[in-house]
Structure 1
């Protein structure tokens, strides 16, 4: 009886192996190739996004340097408008905010706006749109600055809450190192916050930063 059972068991095992062998086996090579393709596409998209943001950043700087505020206005978010922060701390309620239409309306005028308060004295800073952009925002030639994307370069004793206020948005930084004469404390940096809208990146915030008392 035992002699008959052994060949039977062997036969069952052989049939089972044949059935298992008949099952479709995932194509490992194709899977790896697909993963590589997906990774390459992701890297390409990231690189493209970074290039677009750098280009847009440079367009904003060029417009500010040339005082071409028509071109600057064209880069303002059509729906969210733009907020200006005098220092690193973004005050959602206190900082000056314009819709795109209001910016275009008031930019050519001599209307004075309160943009915030001077650090130290606490005195309100009042200026026209043109003066604020030329004398405060672009107080130095930031076209010759050090650039970074989503990374802070400059930092002092002023609270920086940009990432808390704009957690899902991309920002660029344009940093000018301080001079040895002043112990490098006269550094300045200009940050732009961008948000994508209908396939294009627009400005939603302009944040200045510098050493504060």
Structure 2
């Protein structure tokens, strides 16, 4: 009888707790306060911190061949432009809307990305191969980071600040080696613009020594 009463008490307490959980509904005010706190926390972060984090996320996405993660950062209205060298050429550089990038990156469609320095030969490749052989020809997860300042520079005209005067950019720089008189340096730059309170990627620019 004693065991029966204990079992009955346990069942009763469990039922009451379950009923209380089912009847609990967070108030609209509590939900609104939670959302506001989250938004306030994001807005309180300095721009430099936000863009450095995005820079790291983009590098990891490219390294891991996670183009869905990369695409999430593309500007929803302006899309994204790829420049093979420091000089941004609006007429030749390849540009994608976000939807077109997502549509074509898993395919074997070949695009023209620009002209190779020195030979003038047209560079053609799928999106996957362009990222693998050009954008990430060096592992930029092991590079020197800078915000709104250039580390790498050669004899190629750098017009980033002219083409994107109101934008912010990050640079990932790999110094050259003594073997090649430090002329084999590489840089990868990401250009960002603000849209509806958040930052998005509008350009990917590679830079290296040119003849």
> Secondary structure of the equivalent of 1:142?
coil
| Number of residue pairs the alignment of both structures matches | 169
> Secondary structure of the equivalent of 1:144?
coil
TM-score (norm 2): 0.78
Question: By how many angstroms is 1:48 displaced?
Answer: 1.3
C-alpha distance in 2 between matches for 1:194 and 1:175:
18
For the pair 1:87 / 2:63, whether they are aligned, the reply is: no
- Gap runs ≥5 in structure 1: 1-44
Question: Over residues 46-65 of structure 1, what are the superposed CA-to-partner deviations in whole Å (9 max), with x where a residue is unaligned?
Answer: 97111001000100001001
Q: In structure 2, do the counterparts of structure 1 residues 167 and 76 end up closer, same or farther at CA, with 3 Å as the change threshold?
A: same
Match of 2:21 in 1: none
C-alpha distance in 1 between matches for 2:52 and 2:198:
13
Match of 1:148 in 2: 146
Match of 2:6 in 1: none
Question: Runs in 1 of length 4+ with deviation above 4 angstroms?
Answer: none
1:93-112 aligned within 5 A: 93-112=91-110
Question: By how many angstroms is 1:66 displaced?
Answer: 0.5
TM-score (norm 1): 0.78
Question: By how many angstroms is 1:164 displaced?
Answer: 0.1
Instruction: Give RMSD over aligned pairs.
Output: 1.1
1:61-80 aligned within 5 A: 61-80=59-78
Larger radius of gyration: 1
Match of 2:166 in 1: 168
Match of 1:189 in 2: 187
C-alpha distance in 1 between matches for 2:47 and 2:108:
38
Within the candidate set 146, 157, 160, 1:159 is matched to 157
For the pair 1:130 / 2:133, whether they are aligned, the reply is: no
- Gap runs ≥5 in structure 2: 1-42
